[in-house]
Amino acid sequence: MTTGGSRGLFVTLEGGDGSGKTTQAELLEQWLGQVGRTVVRTREPGGTDLGVEVREIVLHSRGHVAPRAEALLYAADRAHHIATRVRPALERGDVVIQDRYIDSSVAYQGAGRVLDAGEIRSLSLWAAEGLLPDLTVLLDLDEGAARDRLDTVRTRYDRLEAEKSDFHARVRAAYLELAEAEPERFLVIDATLPIADIAGVIRARLEELLD
């Protein structure tokens, strides 16, 4: 985790596709700007030029990508992204708001692809040189409700969104297990709550960390 003082604050948003991460990241960025904090908003994969290329491969490749190769591609993106964008921002004292991080790899590649979750976590921590978020917001949503939401905004799905319901059920269960194991880092919120209510809960926790 980051430390206090001149160091910044590292906040990640996690959850299944359709849980509302993008909306909450936008609202959080607006609020932090209003209270005078410099914000770097980013995502994995795709937070750097290299990440955009990796994102195209792992999410939009037409061919099959072996699960271990997929995990390694995410780790490669993470190593570059943390080294070139996230750590420099934290060292400047900025607040980093990031859509997906290590917990996504553990949930999607570990549980979803049925790889060893411990190995995936170790690989990700090695890539990120041990950096963990100060706060991880988990927007929890049933996989059926998530698909219904996506159906209203998508005309095509990426490789992970297109996976079957049992895949997404494993991902959700893995997220909840991660949150239970690290309650001091995770803030779990029911993603069916009104958008403004969710934003208020997140702001309340951030105010504690900013103080």
Residue 4 lies in a domain: no
pLDDT of residue 60: 84
pLDDT of residue 74: 94
Crossing angle (nearest 10°) for helices 67-81 and 49-60:
160
pLDDT digits (tens, 9 = 90+) for 171-209: 999 999 999 999 999 999 999 999 999 999 999 999 999
Residue 100 lies in a domain: yes
- Angle 80-206-177 (CA atoms, 0-180°, nearest 5)? 70
Residue 32 lies in a domain: yes
Q: Name the burial class of residue 159, with classes exposed (0-12), middle (13-18) and buried (19+) by CB atoms within 10 angstroms of its CB.
A: middle
Residue 3 predicted with pLDDT over 70? no
pLDDT digits (tens, 9 = 90+) for 129-180: 999 999 999 999 998 887 787 777 766 776 677 677 888 899 999 999 999 9
Q: Across all residues in the chain, what is the average pLDDT?
A: 91
Residue 131 lies in a domain: yes
Residue 33 lies in a domain: yes
For residue 54, give its domain range.
Answer: 9-210
Domain count, the chain: 1
pLDDT of residue 1: 57
pLDDT of residue 159: 67
pLDDT of residue 62: 75
We report the CATH number of the domain holding residue 24 as: 3.40.50.300
The tokens describing 199, both together, are 């934003």
The tokens describing 170, both together, are 């494993």
pLDDT digits (tens, 9 = 90+) for 13-69: 999 888 999 999 999 999 999 999 999 999 999 999 999 999 899 888 778 889 999
pLDDT digits (tens, 9 = 90+) for 84-98: 999 999 999 999 999
Mean pLDDT of 113-128: 96
Residues ≥6 apart with Cβ < 8 Å to 14: 21, 100, 101, 103, 104, 107, 136, 137, 138, 139, 175
Residue 166 lies in a domain: yes
Residue 30 lies in a domain: yes
Residue 156 lies in a domain: yes
